[in-house]
Amino acid sequence: MKAIFMGLGYIGLPTAAVAAGAGITVLGVDVNPDVVATINRGKIHILEPALATLVKQVVEQGSLRASLEPETEDAFFIVVPTPFKQNHRADISYVESAIRMVLPFLQVGNLLVIESTSPVLTTEKMADRIFKERPELKDTLYIAYCPERVLPGNVLYELEHNNRVIGGLTSEAADKAAAFYAQFVKGRLHKTNARTAEMCKLTENSSRDVQIAFANELSMICKKAGVNVWDLINLANKHPRVQILQPGCGVGGHCIAVDPWFIVSDFPEQARIIKRARETNDYKADWCANQVLEACEHFVHETDREPLVA
Binding site residues, ligand NAD, CB under 6 A? 6-12, 29-32, 35, 79-82, 94, 97-98, 101, 116-117, 148, 150, 152, 254-255
Closest to ligand NAD by CB, 91 vs 231, is: 91
- The residues carrying an active-site annotation are 201, 255
Q: Confirm if 143 and 127 have CB atoms less than 8 A apart.
A: yes
| β-bridge pairing 25-29 and 64-67 | parallel
Minimum Å gap between C-beta 118 and ligand NAD is 7
Minimum Å gap between C-beta 86 and ligand NAD is 18
Minimum Å gap between C-beta 150 and ligand NAD is 6
Distance CA 51, CA 39 (A): 11
Minimum Å gap between C-beta 139 and ligand NAD is 26
Minimum Å gap between C-beta 284 and ligand NAD is 21
Distance CA 190, CA 164 (A): 6
Q: Confirm if 110 and 180 have CB atoms less than 8 A apart.
A: no
Going by C-beta distance under 8 Å and a sequence separation of 6 or more, which residues neighbour residue 47? none
Closest to ligand NAD by CB, 115 vs 173, is: 115
Closest to ligand NAD by CB, 8 vs 58, is: 8
| β-bridge pairing 2-6 and 75-78 | parallel
Q: Confirm if 77 and 148 have CB atoms less than 8 A apart.
A: no
Closest to ligand NAD by CB, 30 vs 209, is: 30
Q: Minimal CB distance to ligand NAD: which residue?
A: 9
Minimum Å gap between C-beta 152 and ligand NAD is 5
Minimum Å gap between C-beta 256 and ligand NAD is 10
Closest to ligand NAD by CB, 21 vs 48, is: 48
N- to C-terminal Cα distance for the chain? Answer: 62
CA-based angle 74:165:187, to the nearest 5?
90
Closest to ligand NAD by CB, 26 vs 233, is: 26
Distance CA 127, CA 125 (A): 5
What is the CB neighbour count within 10 angstroms for residue 270?
A: 11
> Starting at the edge strand that comes first in sequence, how are the strands of the sheet with 64-67 ordered?
64-67, 25-29, 2-6, 75-78, 111-114, 142-145, 164-168, 189-193
Number of H helices, E strands in the chain: 11, 8
CA-CA distances (angstroms) from residue 287 to 24, 80, 98, 294, 309? 49, 33, 40, 10, 17
Closest to ligand NAD by CB, 100 vs 305, is: 100
